[in-house]
Chains A and B, each alone.
Chain A
Amino acid sequence: MSRGPLQQEPDRAGGQQAGRGELVRQVPVALRAQQAAALPAEEAVARQGRKELLQCGVLSAEKDLYLGKLALTKFPKSPETWIHRRWVLQRMQRDICPGVGERKEQVDGEGGGDHRDGGHRDGDRGDSAEDPLRSERLRRLLQEEMRVCADAAGRYPSNYNAWSHRIWVLHHLAKGNLKILHDELSSMRLWVSMHVSDHSGFHYRQFLLRALVRELSHHQNQSQSQSSSHQTQTQTQQQQSPSSPRSSSTPSATAPSSSPSSPPPPHRSPAGSPTQPNGEASTLGSEGLGGPLTSAAISELFQDEMELCTDLIEAYPGHETLWCHRRHVFYLWHQWRQECDLSSSSSSSAQANGSSSSSPHLLNHALVEPPAATASPVPAHSRLKCGPDSEMAANGQPMDMEVDGEEEEEEEEEEAAERESTTAADVCPLSDNIQQQQQSSCSGGSGGAGGVSGSSSSSINATTSSSSSSGGCYMRDTKRLKRGPAPACPPPSLAAEEAFVSSVLSSCRSPEQRRFAASYRKWLASVIGH
């Protein structure tokens, strides 16, 4: 078996110490070896060789990425290729933003912790002159990665590796960047409509939704906490925000916020409030309207997603993926609504602690709850849930987002967890009174998800949406604006879901569609409660 020249060195480490000249001569041979390597064994060898060449600076990272891209056209699923790609991207990121990278490495050792803080502290001493250049490079890198992922996703159905790579890239290269999250959400609409049984594609949309809700809620909390400046926590946050042009973990986020001083015109701003995506102090302080506007934005996000889901379910009957997606989205909405209710009901104390603790729960629960949610009698659905979750746990990378959230708000977790359990305990008896559901409804939605009566939440929905519908319009991009301020469809609610299921069951002809609709109805009953 022919092995690359790097293998001829008796000691692999010795290869690195060999003169650069020798390595330079070996580059073309190594690359050819890589290209020729069809067997996995040789591929691993060649990949190690490439890593070494990269570390010596002999091989450029861009070239290596290009080679990887070619490999992916033939083997779109290959996990090693994706893993290697992430290694290269991390190196490139360190090169582009050295301060951030180092900080990140340190906290990565602790398990992927607080990126935002890390970025900010180094960004303070960063060179503002180089920022646009850096962010441009990162932006191009990001775009290329999106392209590669999309390509690989098209070549293999439900290509989990490609999609989780995509999530990883967003998480590391564009963390906290609302504009990019919004752009991804809108650009994926068509793709997902043309691949209606691609679970991973829809899972990506769910990730985007979660991330957007989290980011928007975070800004909302920042604005709320800034309005009450006598809190210690507020002060720390305020310290963060003046330097927020550089405060996000990656300077790529500064690309869209290139005009820090003036608030962007409403139609440009994808964020809930008319502030920079990074939530700068200047605009936040002047507006102070973070609360209702972000709520409206989030609500609209959910509305749009449900509308898309409805549209696809009706157009393409008999695809389980669409129904699973609907469950995810509705569940997310349901949780978010509950947290809103929680924070608004506890707003009498109006502590930053209380309100800011609502944001991580969506993430914590999104991670923890789904296995409980699948207690409902749909084996296929639970297969879907358990599969990706367990894979994610094993892989370690897509969980970064969730792990990150947990660690950031650690101190509030216990407090909030206590509140959650008491709420659940309070609400469960209530729901039992309203409906004769057995304990399974409470346990099915354990941890605060179950039990809130659908009718009360939908009425709250109605008031918030009506009060914020006028403000809601300019969160969207211009296309939407032209349609006018009123949302096209009513906000999600349990009643609306029931109505939808009934209409599907009455009009559908496909037996699979009927089956999925019936299971969805059962899921609604057992998990969401009445």
Chain B
Amino acid sequence: MKLFSLSVIHKGATKANLLKAAYDLSSFSFFQRSSVQEFMTFTSALIVDRSSLGSRASVKEQDYLCHVYVRNDSLGAVVIADNEYPSRVCFSLLDKVLDEFSRQVDPIDWPSGSPATIQYAALDAYLAKYQNPREADAMSKVQAELDETKIILHNTMESLLERGEKLDDLVQKSEHLGNQSKAFYKTARKQNSCCVVM
């Protein structure tokens, strides 16, 4: 079971703004890593953008599960995990991270901040620590607190999109993805393998 990325994103009125992110791409081959990272960022931002305030959701995409929590104050966090990793622990992690982040970083900075300007360094440590869910988290506590029925489950990314919206278009317009990644996505789509990277 693995965690791949952990990001804090502000849900603005018009767009989702990435504030800080950590990645563990060790399981990907070297040449794939930059593309993978970009796609993870793209996906995380998209998910936050399409989630409503005060909601928790899990979005399934191929072998990955993206867990998101968007708070009522528009601060959101996304963790991308594999399908073995217990979702309960993920949500506990998201709660923790957002709690700490909101105390350390002034809300003024959220709408316009970027990973370069935001002063919050704990994400990498959290990602590393939570690679082993049992060491990181007292499960019984989380079990009691969280009501699982409130978590929305999306079986594909498509279900997040609005009517008529296409993922391909979003990929093309995205500022998170470099040209190479966009080209890669195009060819992967053509071969019908649908973006094996992400």
Q: Which residues of A contact B (CB under 8 A)?
A: 154-155, 193-197, 315-317, 319, 509
Contacts and interface: CB of A to CB of B under 8 A. Distances in A.
B84 A315 contact: no
Contact of A195 (B1, B27, B86, B148): B1
11 contacts: A154-B27, A155-B27, A194-B132, A195-B84, A196-B1, A196-B84, A316-B84, A316-B86, A317-B86, A319-B84, A509-B143
A1 B27 CA distance: 33
Which of B1, B83, B132, B148 has its CB near the most chain A CB atoms (within 10 A)?
A: B1
A469 to B, nearest CB: 28
Closest 4 CB pairs of A and B: A197-B84, A196-B84, A316-B86, A509-B148
Interface string B1-33: 100000000000000000000000001000000
A196 B89 CA distance: 15
Given A194-B132, A195-B84, A317-B86, 10 more contacts: A193-B134, A194-B1, A196-B84, A197-B83, A315-B133, A316-B84, A316-B86, A319-B84, A509-B143, A509-B148
A352 B132 CA distance: 49
Contacts of B86: 315-317
B139 interface: yes
Contacts of A317: 86
Contacts of A193: 134
A509 B146 CA distance: 11
B134 A315 contact: yes
Interface in B5-63: 27
B58 to A, nearest CB: 13
Contacts of A196: 1, 84
Contacts of A155: 27
Interface of B: 1, 27, 83-84, 86, 132-134, 139, 143, 148
Contacts of B133: 315
B64 to A, nearest CB: 13
A194 B133 CA distance: 9
A127 B134 CA distance: 51
B32 to A, nearest CB: 12
Nearest to A316: B86
A315 to B, nearest CB: 6
A322 to B, nearest CB: 11
Contacts of B27: 154-155
Contacts of A315: 86, 133-134, 139
Which of B27, B84, B143 has its CB near the most chain A CB atoms (within 10 A)?
A: B84
Which of A155, A197, A316 has its CB near the most chain B CB atoms (within 10 A)?
A: A316
A449 B128 CA distance: 46
Nearest to A197: B84
A319 B84 CA distance: 8
Contacts of B143: 509
A197 B83 CA distance: 9
A316 B1 CA distance: 11
Nearest to A318: B86
A152 B27 CA distance: 12
Nearest to A314: B139
B113 to A, nearest CB: 35
A155 B134 CA distance: 22
Contacts of B134: 193, 315
Nearest to A154: B27
A155 B84 CA distance: 15
B131 to A, nearest CB: 8
B136 to A, nearest CB: 12
Contacts of B84: 195-197, 316, 319
Nearest to A194: B1
A319 B1 CA distance: 12
Nearest to A311: B134
Nearest to B147: A509
A316 B87 CA distance: 10
Contacts of A509: 143, 148
